[in-house]
Amino acid sequence: MRHIFNLSEAAMAYALCAEKICGNDPDFLNANPSIIPIFVNQLFQSLEISIKHAGIESKLFTLAEARDNKTRKGHGVKELADLAVERLGGVKGDFSPIVNAMTFSNTINNAVDIIHKMICGKELEKTRKSYSTRSLGYAAVSDGDFAIINPIPNWVETVKQTAANLKSTIDVLSQWKASPSKSKVFMLRD
């Protein structure tokens, strides 16, 4: 089967859709709260695909492994990040290696914090669950299931830059994987 776009392009497409929903008016979400789950879903879809693409291209895991039950059929961003960290030899529950690799080339000041919150932040726990179980698709969304990260423009731009900089992420992950060091942490430097 010939696909019209690859994972990298799909990750960018979802980020661009989220950007288009909000435009330059973050208050649009406050005025139209029913759009929040769709908006948040777009950002999580972009991050999910970004993690998959980076993990597959850096040979941390295969597409089949990324779609396994352990990763919630590939929809669990926390589980995908956990798989990547495990394959890098990192410390279980410490998501800083994948977060740092994915935000290495981002220019948003709080990009690390934003991606960390999306992957494992307690404040987005219900959001991750709703996203990974596809509650939105089944119209099974309750009030409070989808949280947002403020400032919204920074959130959108961070996810968009993460998708745009996947080559850099893959380079960082590949270098770490190939390193003979047994260190459980990986220091990134400019």
82-121 residue pLDDT tens: 999 999 988 889 999 999 999 999 999 999 999 999 999 9
Q: Write down the pLDDT at residue 189.
A: 46
Per-position DSSP letters for 14-30, written without gaps between them: HHHHHHHHHTT-THHHH
Give 147 or 159, the one with higher predicted confidence.
159
Q: Is 148 left (phi over 0), alpha (psi -120 to 50) or beta?
A: beta
The predicted model scores a pTM of 0.91
Burial class of residue 89 (count of CB atoms within 10 Å of its CB; 0-12, 13-18, 19+): middle
Contact 108, 154 (CB under 8 A): yes
190 has pLDDT over 50 = no
